[in-house]
Structure 1
Amino acid sequence: MHDLLPASAVSPLRQRLIDDMSLRRFSHETQRNYIRDVGRLATFLGRRPDTATAQDLRRFQVEQREAGVPVPTLNAIVSALRFFFTHTLDRPDLARQLVRLAYPRTLPVVLSRDEVTRLLDATTCLKHQAALSVAYGAGLRVAEVAALKVIDIDSARMLIRVERGKGGRYRNALLPADLLTLLRQWWKVGRQQGVMQRDGWLFPGQHPMKPISTRHLHRIVVEAARAADIAKRVGPHTLRHSFATHLLEDGIDIRVIQVLLGHAKLENTAFYTKVATRTVRTVTSPLDKLGLFKTGEIAPG
């Protein structure tokens, strides 16, 4: 069997990769994806991935592209393999052979404030409403919502501590007063149901000792959107997109939004300017200031 494929007997190479990722506080989901993508290379080679040559990597990328693998997926594979060759194998020369592909980013789906209200009202229980309200009210990623613990809610400073955001980075997220009220209601109900512990998960899964899954959160959003008669294709990340866009439309500085979202690059936050329609509508065109075409002053042709 390939070195990174068996989960039952962890090989030294697989363990080194896991240790390198754990050292950098990569999320469980990121670790799982990186192991899967390195395993994809092992399957292609038919041998251990640490024996790959520059020509092997070139053939692998060509084969993946010809097989119709989407560009975002290809780039995710490149990120995993670059990490593997740079940090686990100390072969940055091979990492440089891996090419990221440019592709046009599609505009994110954003809900109106009315649609957000309808979606949250359409949830079937307090736990679901609270989880989706965190995604929108604090702008968290779905994995960040799932990983929250009760102790991450800092009501004294009105902050949510995000311990393992993207890339393993820590940050403080916004804790709106209304969201705190909702979370306190959920805490009371969760305690009555026997699923909430002071040192436990904020949103327990079916087993109280495990957090709610990101897949379950996605299903909750989809079902709530359907119940709210929202035709747009939505997921948990749609609430994060809406959070950022609505802040931008309210005039919040883009660098503040960057910090709240946990973006490493400002260009990722600036992308929301393309969907902030209220911001566009507030701009006065220089043509209007010329005063050439006032109502009733143009003779019919």
Structure 2
Amino acid sequence: MQPLLKTEKISKQRADMLLQFPLNKDNLQAFTQYQELLQLKGYSPQTLKTYCNEFHLLLRLLGKGKVSGMTKEGGRCYSATRLNTAINALKFYFEQVLNRGREFYDLPRPKKPKKLPTVLAESEVARIILQTKNLKHRALLMTAYSAGLRVSELVKLRIKDIDPGRMMIHIREGKGGKGRMVPLSQTLLETLRIYYQQYKPGEYLFEGENGGPYSARSAQEILKKAKRWAGIQKKGSIHLLRHSYATHLLEAGTDVRYIQVLLGHNSLKTTLRYTHVSKLKLGSIQSPLDRLKLE
């Protein structure tokens, strides 16, 4: 059989493509090496899936041609609509798997539209939390907002990551495998104590029915339902709460450089979407959750 991502469900259209464009022996070996190196380097599951999908599609389209013999000029004809991702996937193969030079670094890339993130008002966040009657679901949403977490960070939080002594949350599995510390909201801590007594989770703070971490899809569905119950039409996933967290900190006067640290951004440019500068110390930052009226 040809290699496929283990968790991927195959549609009829994709099945037809697999039959119509089989991988040759050399490209099959290249794809196996590609997957193994991505995993070895510790790329996130989402990045691994995205890169492998793009690389896999390219291998199919090459037919009998060997990917190792592909030139930069050949790459110019590939998938303009997903050119940025495709180029990154190709760069990884040639630069990391084959240890060749930066052959694809100067391919023209389409400019990404500069979109401002959608943000909830503090009153809207409060409505979402108040309309979530299930204690576990409420605690999950409060945790996501209070610390500005990505959904992958949220579902991987362990009980030991909550440090009430220092009033900090230790995010061990951030993007790119980087850990960071964020302040623990007093309001969140009180809710988590009640939640823990009632649900008694084992290892992970939020666990599925059969143990193990809560699924990202389930977490997203919780927010989707909560927004509907609160009558909020704004689009967005758990990342909507992360954007709101950053913006609310900014509006409260938190220095953008501290927000960069709290969000775990590599570059300040990423954080400058919420740009504003003021003078505060990290230890004095109050979580925006503590300013909400939840009673």
TM-score by shorter chain over 0.5? yes
Q: 1:151-191 CA distances to partner (integer Å, 9 max, x unpaired)?
A: 22222222222222122222122311111222222222221
SS at match of 1:172: strand
Query: Take 1:14 and 1:53, find their aligned partners in 2: how far apart are those partners?
Result: 18
Partner of residue 84, structure 2: 75
1:95, 1:116 → 2: CA distance? 44
TM-score by length of 2: 0.78
State the aligned residue count: 255
Matching residue of 1:280: none
Contact 1:142 / 1:237 at 8 angstroms: preserved in 2? yes
Equivalent in 49, 61, 66 of residue 32 of structure 1: 49
What letter corresponds to residue 151 of structure 2 in structure 1? V
Contact 1:82–1:98 (8 Å) recurs in 2: no
When the two structures are superposed, what TM-score results if normalisation uses the length of structure 1? 0.76
Q: Structure 1 residue 179 and structure 2 residue 188: aligned?
A: yes
CA offsets 1:125-158 (integer angstroms, 9 cap, x no match): 1221111112110001111112212222222222
Task: State the Cα distance separating 1:116 from its structure 2 match.
Answer: 0.1
Q: Which residue pairs with 1:265 in the alignment?
A: 267
For the pair 1:120 / 2:123, whether they are aligned, the reply is no
Secondary structure at the residue paired with 2:194?
helix
Identify if the C-alpha distance between structure 1 residues 183 and 40 changes in structure 2 by more than 3 Å, giving closer, same or farther.
farther
Give the distance between the partners of 2:162 and 2:33, measured in 1 at CA. 34
Amino acid corresponding to residue 216 of structure 1 in structure 2: S
* Distance in 2, Cα, partners of 1:121 & 1:79: 42
State the alpha-carbon separation in 1 of the partners of residues 148 and 173 from structure 2: 15
Flag the 1:120–1:78 CA change in 2: closer, same or farther, 3 A: farther
Relative distance call for 1:189 and 1:271 in structure 2 (3 A) is same
State the Cα deviation string for residues 193-214 of structure 1 (Å, max 9, x = none): xxx21xx2221123213x2222
> Counterpart in 2 of 1:294?
none
Compute the RMSD of aligned alpha carbons: 2.4
The one-letter code sitting in structure 1 at the alignment partner of 2:263 is: L
Tell me if 1:46 matches 2:63.
yes
- Partner of residue 59, structure 1: 77
CA distance in 2, matches of 1:18, 1:123: 40
1:6–1:243 CA distance, 2 compared to 1 (3 A): closer
Contact 1:258 1:266 in 2 (8 A): yes
Letter in structure 2 aligned against 1:57? G
Deviation at 1:5, TM superposition (A): 3.5
Q: Is the 8 A contact 2:54 2:86 kept in 1?
A: yes
Q: CA-to-partner distance for each residue in 1:38-78, whole Å, 9 max, x for gaps?
A: 21221222356444332332221xxx22xxx3xxx542333
Post-superposition CA distance 1:82-120 (Å, at most 9, x none): 223221221233332544321222111111110000011
Match of 1:155 in 2: 164
Identity of aligned residues (%): 38
1:292 maps to which residue? none
Distance 2:160 2:109 in 1: 39
- 1:216 maps to 218
Code of the residue aligned with 1:165 in structure 2: it is: G
Aligned partners of 1:205 and 1:213 also within 8 Å: yes
- The counterpart of 1:84, out of the listed 83, 93, 96, is 93
Distance 1:84 1:136 in 2: 37
Provide structure 2 residue ranges, at least 5 long, that are not aligned to the other structure: 8-27, 277-295
SS at match of 1:161: strand
